[in-house]
Amino acid sequence: MISKRTGIVFEHVIKAIESSEKLELFISNIRKDPTIKGFNVALPWKEEIMKHVDIKDDFTNKYGICNTIVNTNGKLTTHNTDVFGIVEPYEKIAGKIDKKSVLILGAGGAGRSLSYYLSDYKNCNVYLFDIDRTKFKRLIKEIKNIRVVMDYEEVDKIITKCDLVVNATPIGKFFFRTNPDSYSSPIKFETILLAKYTAVFQEMNYYPIETEFLNIASHLGHLTIEGTKMLAFQALKTLDYIYKSNFVDTLGFEINQEIEQYVHKNL
């Protein structure tokens, strides 16, 4: 649907990389293939792939996390669309995010990238929570100007003053064409109930369109932003980087609506 809307004919292929050696070989082959204009990067390679590129944009160079590569005649340039996939829909729907207080649930690649960006580029007060204590020990040393939230009791206190709450965990995500045994949310109903009425709740997971996290927040009267919007805006931003276009501004919400319709109908 994105190809049809943008007029750009392309193929998006999923490729599994099992080891660092295979990653290096993959990069070598990409450099030799002029038909491959770029590609996206998923965990666990968002950091390691930075060793194999030629040019790093400001954000990826500073924080070392990349999820998009542009191939220009064999020269590879890094970008990160995770942050854009959250910030752009939020600002189009809820207004400027600058200087807001934001609670991010999940300190994986996307959650960490978002925390860096909001703190450094948008001057936000960022609170980062994860249940993985081992991961947190590394993050505490790594992050200087972001407050790490260590337990659910502290989440209950922090959420009362936050303008935005983002689910950057896989909790609540369904696998395609399967029925879950139970519905789940990264934080409980009682915690969401503590949020101020004006708080916005935003999801990174895009299936189902309304996760239990968003469902609870919506029923409590909060503005919610679905993960399909992140999916759509990330995809368009990738094309904008590759083709130096401006599809995000011209087609962002139209393509998001088509993606939501597709998810409802086919998944």
What is the secondary structure of 84-109 as a DSSP string? HHHHHHHHHHH---TT-EEEEE--SH
- Whole-number pLDDT of residue 138: 63
- Whole-number pLDDT of residue 222: 98
**HSE of 59 in the Cβ direction (CA atoms, 13 Å)?**
22
- What is the overall mean pLDDT for the chain? 88
- Whole-number pLDDT of residue 140: 59
2-80 shares its CATH topology with 83-228? yes
Residues 232-252 pLDDT 10s: 888 888 989 998 888 777 777
In angstroms, the CA 239 to CA 46 distance is 19
Instruction: List alpha helices for the chain, DSSP H.
Output: 2-6, 20-32, 58-63, 82-94, 109-121, 133-142, 152-158, 189-192, 212-219, 227-243, 247-266
- % the chain with pLDDT above 90: 57
Hey, which CATH number is domain 83-228, 1.20.1250.20, 3.40.50.150, 3.40.50.720, 2.60.120.260?
A: 3.40.50.720
- Rg of the chain on CA atoms, in Å: 19
Tally the residues of the chain.
267
Burial level of 256, CB count in 10 A (0-12/13-18/19+)?
buried
Q: Which residue has the higher pLDDT, 176 or 226?
A: 226
Does residue 90 register a pLDDT over 60? Answer: yes
Burial level of 96, CB count in 10 A (0-12/13-18/19+)?
exposed
Query: For residue 107, which of 157, 71, 75, 141 has the smallest C-alpha distance?
Result: 141
Q: Which residue has the higher pLDDT, 170 or 79?
A: 79
Average pLDDT over residues 80-98: 93
- Whole-number pLDDT of residue 163: 98
- Whole-number pLDDT of residue 236: 86
Average pLDDT over residues 186-214: 93
- Whole-number pLDDT of residue 157: 97
Average pLDDT over residues 61-65: 88
In angstroms, the CA 118 to CA 83 distance is 8
Average pLDDT over residues 36-53: 92
Does residue 261 register a pLDDT over 90? Answer: no
In angstroms, the CA 244 to CA 81 distance is 14
- Whole-number pLDDT of residue 266: 66
Query: For residue 115, which of 91, 84, 83 has the smallest C-alpha distance?
Result: 83
In angstroms, the CA 261 to CA 267 distance is 10
Q: Which residue has the higher pLDDT, 3 or 14?
A: 14
Superfamily of domain 2-80: Leucine Dehydrogenase, chain A, domain 1 (3.40.50.10860)
The band of 184, judged by pLDDT with boundaries at 50, 70 and 90, is: confident
Write down the domain spans for the chain.
2-80, 83-228
